[in-house]
């Protein structure tokens, strides 16, 4: 089976073609970072309009790169949610229209299921069951994964997601949008021991996250600090260290609670080098394994949607063309394969 994947949940237009025997045949991605940079964040209306402009040329490019014609496509997977409603509608409308025109089934994919399964695109893929840490600009959650669609939510952020806290703190430090990667780069110049940031919600039981207080602590620290480059780097270092320590502590708890020794890290924040190092050490200490998507598949992309959609299409599932998008869509409500 060969599937065309379409991702338009936020500010990146991702298109890919995935074959269940040959693997990933092509993937194209257009990022709207420059479009939104002047506003310091994603402007939903502008995002939707840019998806409209870019989606058809990108689909044609993905098909050309895969050496495919429309008759070679057996199904279409598109992101149905969660995400920005206008952006989701662009991908869903185009995907369902092509499915109708080409007389193939369409499947609406959960965006976070796409991230969760992104490590399956790698040569060394994790086996079920495992614990997944999904960390991005919009989500921070721990999930026990016993199979596709067999998800148990262990913990989630009760306010800001980790990626959102990175971006907001970066803005307070005067960094451009998107700030998360720039804050991580600035932290490389920082020195330990200058600031002691809290590790929120680690002094109590449970696996939920909270990063809004950490962001406030960073804001107060920045306000009271000297305005020089080394001080800013030291604050960035302390903030990043606090986030990574918090995530590590919660992952260790989740693994102990479930008795599992496999950990998957996915989502945009999973590209953070220091986070990867910390999780590698954690899993070495407990003699476990950790898996990530390659850097190109950490952020939103069509390949993960094509892969996730293919698994459900092969199982006989499809989404009626009349179904609407789902800006809010709990992961643990998905059907199991």
Residue 130: which region, alpha, beta or left (left: phi > 0; alpha: psi -120 to 50)? beta
CB 36 within 8 A of CB 167: no
Residue 139 marked as a ligand binder:
no
Residue 134 marked as a ligand binder:
yes
Residue 111 marked as a ligand binder:
yes
Query: Hey, is 3 helix, strand or coil?
Result: strand
Residue 115 marked as a ligand binder:
yes
Residue 110 marked as a ligand binder:
no
Q: Which structure tokens are listed for 227?
A: 């305005």
Residue 114 marked as a ligand binder:
no
Which one, of 70, 81, 84, 94, lies nearest residue 6 by Cα?
94
CB 287 within 8 A of CB 261: yes
Residue 180 marked as a ligand binder:
yes
Residue 300 marked as a ligand binder:
yes
CB 26 within 8 A of CB 37: no
Rounded-to-integer distance, Cα 335 and Cα 17, Å: 24
Residue 272 marked as a ligand binder:
yes
- On the CB side of 235, CA atoms within 13 Å amount to 27
Rounded-to-integer distance, Cα 267 and Cα 2, Å: 25
Q: Which structure tokens are listed for 304?
A: 């993960």
Binding-site members are 111, 115, 134-138, 167, 180, 272, 300
Binding-site members for Fe cation are 111, 115, 300
Binding-site members for substrate are 134-138, 167, 180, 272
């Amino acid at each position: 089976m060969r599937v065309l994947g379409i991702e338009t949940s936020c500010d990146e237009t991702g298109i890919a073609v995935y074959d269940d025997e040959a693997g990933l045949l092509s993937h194209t991605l257009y990022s709207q970072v420059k479009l939104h940079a002047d506003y310091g964040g994603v402007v939903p209306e502008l995002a939707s309009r840019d998806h409209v402009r870019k989606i058809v040329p990108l689909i044609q490019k993905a098909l050309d790169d895969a050496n495919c014609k429309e008759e070679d496509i057996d199904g279409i997977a598109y992101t149905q949610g969660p995400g920005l409603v206008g952006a989701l509608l662009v991908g869903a409308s185009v995907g369902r229209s092509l499915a109708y025109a080409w007389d193939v089934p369409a499947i609406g994919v959960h965006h976070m299921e796409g991230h969760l399964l992104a490590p399956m695109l790698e040569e060394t893929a994790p086996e079920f069951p495992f614990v997944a840490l999904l960390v991005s600009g919009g989500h921070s959650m721990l999930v026990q994964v016993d199979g596709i669609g067999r998800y148990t939510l262990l913990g989630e952020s009760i306010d800001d997601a980790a990626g959102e806290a990175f971006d907001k703190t970066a803005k307070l430090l005067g960094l451009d949008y998107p700030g998360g990667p720039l804050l991580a780069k600035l932290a490389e110049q920082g020195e330990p021991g200058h600031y002691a940031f809290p590790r929120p919600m680690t002094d109590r039981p449970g696996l939920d996250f909270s990063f809004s207080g950490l962001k406030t602590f960073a804001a107060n620290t920045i306000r009271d600090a000297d305005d020089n480059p080394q001080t800013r780097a030291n604050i960035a270092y302390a903030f990043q260290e606090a986030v990574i320590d918090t995530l590590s502590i919660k992952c260790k708890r989740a693994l102990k609670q479930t008795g599992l020794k496999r950990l998957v890290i996915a989502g945009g924040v999973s590209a953070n080098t220091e986070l990867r190092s910390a999780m590698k050490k954690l899993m070495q200490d407990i003699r476990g394994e950790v898996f990530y998507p390659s850097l190109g598949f950490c952020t939103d992309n069509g390949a993960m949607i094509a892969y996730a959609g293919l698994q459900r299409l092969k199982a006989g599932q499809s989404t009626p063309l009349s179904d609407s998008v789902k800006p809010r869509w709990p992961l643990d409500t998905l059907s199991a394969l």
